[in-house]
A and B are shown apart, each in its own frame.
Chain A
Amino acid sequence: MSKNASQQISRRKILKLMGLGTLGVGLAACAAPATQQPVAPTAPQAPQEEIKPTEAPAAPGQVTLDVVMDTPEYQNQHRQIFDIFEQENPGVKINFTTHSEDGQPAYVAKVAGGYIPAMESVWASGNSFKLNKDTFKNAIDLSTIDYPYYDLFTYPLKTAWVDIYSESGPRCIDPFNGPVMTWMFHEDLLDKAGLNPIGKVKTWDDLKMWLDEGSKWAKTPDSGVQFFWDQAWLNPWFGWHLHYDTIPLAFPDGQRENQIACWKGEKPFNAEDSPYRHTIMFYKEAYDKGWLPENFWTRGWENDMEASFAAKKSAVMLHGPWPWDKTLAIDPNAKQAGMPATPPAAGQTQWMQLQPDPGVDGSSMATMIRTGNETKPEYDMIKKLFIWWNSPDIVRLRAEAIGFVPAMKLDPPAELTGPQLVNTVLEIEKPGGKWENVKWERSISGELQMGAKRKGGSPGVFDVESGNIAKIWADVMTGKMTIQEYLDILQKNYEASYT
């Protein structure tokens, strides 16, 4: 470029360029996707394999039903199940799409703009989205659609919504138990290190000793791992009931009834015997003793923690079913094993395992029919699809395809092959099973029971939706805030959030 360049572009030229550029961009945006309109070759070409469009246009007279879900990891399995519906119902096409957490806000905006899919998972709108007293009218009252399978459910689906929210319902159906948090580990790694916990870890103190020994082993040069127990952060998973409600079950005063008492306002969250004190104390001790990665709240859930585990750069996680599958996808020869989350502490005689709530007001597996569908001419077909999707035979297929435990009595029962299920979850309370002496805690959480009482726009006890909780955890872990101060915040949040 010459510094003496005197050629100047006129404003008029700029205007022309901008105008034509914008027009071009606008036209390009309006153009149909190439996949829908394959361009005919202009010259004879060698025979090629036909490229199928990803979404074939519906034939004349055909009904197209949009289904939207938030679990792209199960896209292929669900797609195959929807193919069955298409085969059973000629003339019906299921346009099935999924999106991850990143796509949820865009989807919400699309719905706000008037888009009404035939069926959707409740969490398509967001991981913490609930059909509560402020939002339940988004979903059709399912008591109006003659759903015939209520009696098969292992929880009171038909009345739970009415009992909790005092509104007619249900508004969504989740045919599965909530995902269970258990310890998981690379069995071969721990066998080699002499740290396999099965048979050795029987109490809470044993568990802490195991974590301590494991962390020391991880620091040895020949361990091959970066961490023994890896932990990361993801809103709203961390610091939600998966952690808060699980850990206290190891302690006598941490049992469900005491947790529920806090939620019902019968016991302050910051009481000396608050069940939630145990969760914070356990993590604080783990952080102080170096059992957890430094600044673990800055570690990415998938990129750091799950990826490290799958690559055997860490040995242990406290997690749900998903990473078992992810690890096998990366390393089909991985030898994973698990252990129920909370062996008993002093004074607690029973080893408990939390079974999180079913999705009464929403979950990733709970589906709903959005309000507005009832005026569509194809509403009968939409209802048929919804009932079919939540029918025993299809729930069995879904359970077998994605490895979730059905919350329905199925005959024959689903053949569940999920690695966490087979290794750990299905062994709990099973006579003769590996964990027959461990007992499920299946009662409904205090948070769900108080669902109708939560003020819209309030932080909630743990302030998970906003992400503010992460900084507080960081402050507690690094000693900038005491455990009591944190519990005080929980109580303050409770008072601000519940009527």
Chain B
Amino acid sequence: MSFMQVSPQEGQGLKGSMARTLKPHIGSLEGQRIRQDWMLLAPQLILFIGLTLVPFIVAFPVLFTDRLSFQDTGVDYIGSANFFRLFNDPNVQAEYFPALWRTIRFVALNYVMVFVFGLTLALLIYEVGFTGWFFTIVYLPMMLSGLATGYIAEMLFSRSTGTVNLMLREWFGIASPIDIKLPEGTTVLLPILIGWRYAGFNVAIFLAGLLAIPTDTIEAARVDGASYWQRLWKVYFPQMIPSFIIATIFCLIGSFGVFDELIALNALSSNTEAKLLSVMFFTYAFQSQRLALGLVLTLQTFLPLVMIALLLQRLQRRLQY
């Protein structure tokens, strides 16, 4: 169906409203709908324009300067020089590429956690029908701040005072504890921590996907004698591809944006493994006096991400049942 051919059903939604003629009859029911749609969208649009778009436009000229910090008073225009620093400045490369590699590794592990936590719990809720208290437990970490979850992890896995380490030492005689502030500890525990925190968010995505599956397809598979695993692989998952892709997009962008938890894990000082790109950008802007360069690197990092997200969206439309 092309964008301008709108079904009556679609005409009830915003896309339908916007897809219809842009000159609705004033006072017509359709015109009222469009006005109402824009009114409902207005608060979010205002916030988005005010808090995202305008700051970006204001900050844009900074990309072409040598601005060191917000406090820098001797700012000069340097053209596109900042955009080439990633390719011709060994000092920037020495910081950026290790941070990029750490981030990609974290994204991969975090993506696994999306399914370990999100999909598993969603299936549990869908199949077993857990409600109420279980939902509360799953969603509770989402209500905590990132810093809080980071500090909770530290309280559990701190080298000398972590609860888990004390239990390992006292009950199992394991002398070498799990130190979350060491690179090895962070590599393993950080994705688990983030996966646990965003479990509720991912459960919602996967549960929506599960509930959208027509029940007759599931019943038909049952009648044909398909085992649970067969139903999972042949019936559920193929019809959940949109959910998978949405979860992938959120995981990808969210992983690059993880910050608070990293701060709690000493990312700004000694914990190298926690120095992901988000920390590097923060350091450039607020600590190392390389604000303009930091902004450019941020842009150079996130533009490909946006492209990937758009490609995934297109893929989602193609693969949709």
By the criterion CB–CB under 8 Å, are A134 and B211 in contact?
no
Q: How far is the CA of A235 from the CA of B154 in the complex (A)?
A: 19
Cβ contacts A43-54/B at 8 Å (1 or 0 each): 000000000000
Q: How far is the CA of A173 from the CA of B43 in the complex (A)?
A: 47
Q: Which A residues from 8 to 29 make CB contacts under 8 A with B?
A: 10-12, 15-16, 18-20, 22-23, 26
Query: Please, which residues of chain B bring their CB within 8 A of the CB of A136?
Result: 73
* A108 to B, closest residue via Cβ: B70
Distance in Å: Cβ of B19 to nearest Cβ of chain A: 13
Q: How far is the CA of A177 from the CA of B159 in the complex (A)?
A: 37
Query: Please, which residues of chain A bring their CB within 8 A of the CB of B275?
Result: 467
* B218 to A, closest residue via Cβ: A3
B220 interface residue, CB < 8 Å from A? Answer: no
Known A105-B286, A134-B68: A470·B269 in contact at CB below 8 Å:
yes
A233 interface residue, CB < 8 Å from B? Answer: yes
Q: How far is the CA of A300 from the CA of B151 in the complex (A)?
A: 12
Binds B, one of A76-84, A125-133, A351-359, A438-446: A125-133
* A307 to B, closest residue via Cβ: B161
B27 interface residue, CB < 8 Å from A? Answer: no
Q: How far is the CA of A474 from the CA of B43 in the complex (A)?
A: 50
By the criterion CB–CB under 8 Å, are B125 and A128 in contact?
no
B84 interface residue, CB < 8 Å from A? Answer: no
Distance in Å: Cβ of A380 to nearest Cβ of chain B: 25
Cβ contacts A451-471/B at 8 Å (1 or 0 each): 000001101000001111011
Query: Please, which residues of chain B bring their CB within 8 A of the CB of A303?
Result: 154
By the criterion CB–CB under 8 Å, are A128 and B287 in contact?
yes
B316 interface residue, CB < 8 Å from A? Answer: no
B64 interface residue, CB < 8 Å from A? Answer: no
By the criterion CB–CB under 8 Å, are A456 and B72 in contact?
yes
Q: Which B residues from 53 to 95 make CB contacts under 8 A with A?
A: 66, 68-74, 91, 95
* B15 to A, closest residue via Cβ: A11
B315 interface residue, CB < 8 Å from A? Answer: no
A100 interface residue, CB < 8 Å from B? Answer: no
Name the one of A11, A138, A226, A459 contacting B160, with C-beta atoms under 8 angstroms: A226
By the criterion CB–CB under 8 Å, are A471 and B42 in contact?
no
What total count of A-B pairs have CB within 8 Å? 150
Q: Which B residues from 209 to 257 make CB contacts under 8 A with A?
A: 210-211, 215, 218
By the criterion CB–CB under 8 Å, are A112 and B70 in contact?
yes
Query: Please, which residues of chain A bring their CB within 8 A of the CB of B161?
Result: 304
By the criterion CB–CB under 8 Å, are A295 and B182 in contact?
yes
Q: Which A residues from 67 to 97 make CB contacts under 8 A with B?
A: none
B13 interface residue, CB < 8 Å from A? Answer: yes
Known A22-B44, A298-B179: A235·B14 in contact at CB below 8 Å:
no
By the criterion CB–CB under 8 Å, are B286 and A457 in contact?
no
By the criterion CB–CB under 8 Å, are A297 and B270 in contact?
yes
B1 interface residue, CB < 8 Å from A? Answer: no
Cβ contacts A107-148/B at 8 Å (1 or 0 each): 011011000000000000110110001111110000000000
A328 interface residue, CB < 8 Å from B? Answer: no
By the criterion CB–CB under 8 Å, are A3 and B289 in contact?
no
Known A26-B47, A457-B293: A235·B68 in contact at CB below 8 Å:
no
Distance in Å: Cβ of B75 to nearest Cβ of chain A: 9
B116 interface residue, CB < 8 Å from A? Answer: no
By the criterion CB–CB under 8 Å, are B41 and A19 in contact?
yes
B32 interface residue, CB < 8 Å from A? Answer: no
Distance in Å: Cβ of A413 to nearest Cβ of chain B: 36
Q: How far is the CA of A6 from the CA of B285 in the complex (A)?
A: 50
Q: How far is the CA of A16 from the CA of B181 in the complex (A)?
A: 45
By the criterion CB–CB under 8 Å, are A135 and B71 in contact?
yes
Distance in Å: Cβ of B115 to nearest Cβ of chain A: 20
B173 interface residue, CB < 8 Å from A? Answer: no
Query: Please, which residues of chain A bring their CB within 8 A of the CB of B12?
Result: 10-12
B39 interface residue, CB < 8 Å from A? Answer: yes
Distance in Å: Cβ of A112 to nearest Cβ of chain B: 4
By the criterion CB–CB under 8 Å, are A467 and B126 in contact?
no
Q: How far is the CA of A109 from the CA of B13 in the complex (A)?
A: 40
Query: Please, which residues of chain B bring their CB within 8 A of the CB of A300?
Result: 266
Distance in Å: Cβ of B309 to nearest Cβ of chain A: 20
By the criterion CB–CB under 8 Å, are B14 and A11 in contact?
yes
Q: Which B residues from 245 to 298 make CB contacts under 8 A with A?
A: 266-272, 275, 282-283, 285-290, 293
Q: Which A residues from 235 to 281 make CB contacts under 8 A with B?
A: 235
Query: Please, which residues of chain B bring their CB within 8 A of the CB of A5?
Result: 211
Name the one of B127, B181, B289 contacting A457, with C-beta atoms under 8 angstroms: B289
By the criterion CB–CB under 8 Å, are B47 and A304 in contact?
no
Query: Please, which residues of chain A bring their CB within 8 A of the CB of B30?
Result: none
Query: Please, which residues of chain A bring their CB within 8 A of the CB of B95?
Result: 466, 468
A2 interface residue, CB < 8 Å from B? Answer: yes
Distance in Å: Cβ of B45 to nearest Cβ of chain A: 9
Distance in Å: Cβ of B155 to nearest Cβ of chain A: 10
Q: How far is the CA of A126 from the CA of B283 in the complex (A)?
A: 12
B40 interface residue, CB < 8 Å from A? Answer: yes
Name the one of A3, A26, A112, A226 contacting B126, with C-beta atoms under 8 angstroms: A3
Q: How far is the CA of A138 from the CA of B271 in the complex (A)?
A: 33
Known A1-B129, A108-B286: A138·B73 in contact at CB below 8 Å:
yes
By the criterion CB–CB under 8 Å, are B44 and A135 in contact?
no
Q: Which B residues form the contact surface with A (CB < 8 A)?
A: 12-15, 37, 39-44, 46-47, 66, 68-74, 91, 95, 125-127, 129-131, 154, 158-161, 179, 181-182, 207, 210-211, 215, 218, 266-272, 275, 282-283, 285-290, 293
Q: Which A residues form the contact surface with B (CB < 8 A)?
A: 1-6, 10-12, 15-16, 18-20, 22-23, 26, 104-105, 108-109, 111-112, 125-126, 128-129, 133-138, 226, 233-235, 294-295, 297-300, 303-304, 456-457, 459, 465-468, 470-471, 473-474, 496
7 additional contacts (CB under 8 A) given A23-B43, A134-B71, A466-B288: A108-B69, A126-B286, A128-B287, A298-B270, A298-B271, A457-B290, A459-B288
Name 10 A/B residue pairs within 8 A (Cβ), A-sorted: A15-B37, A105-B282, A135-B71, A234-B269, A235-B268, A295-B159, A459-B288, A468-B95, A471-B270, A474-B272
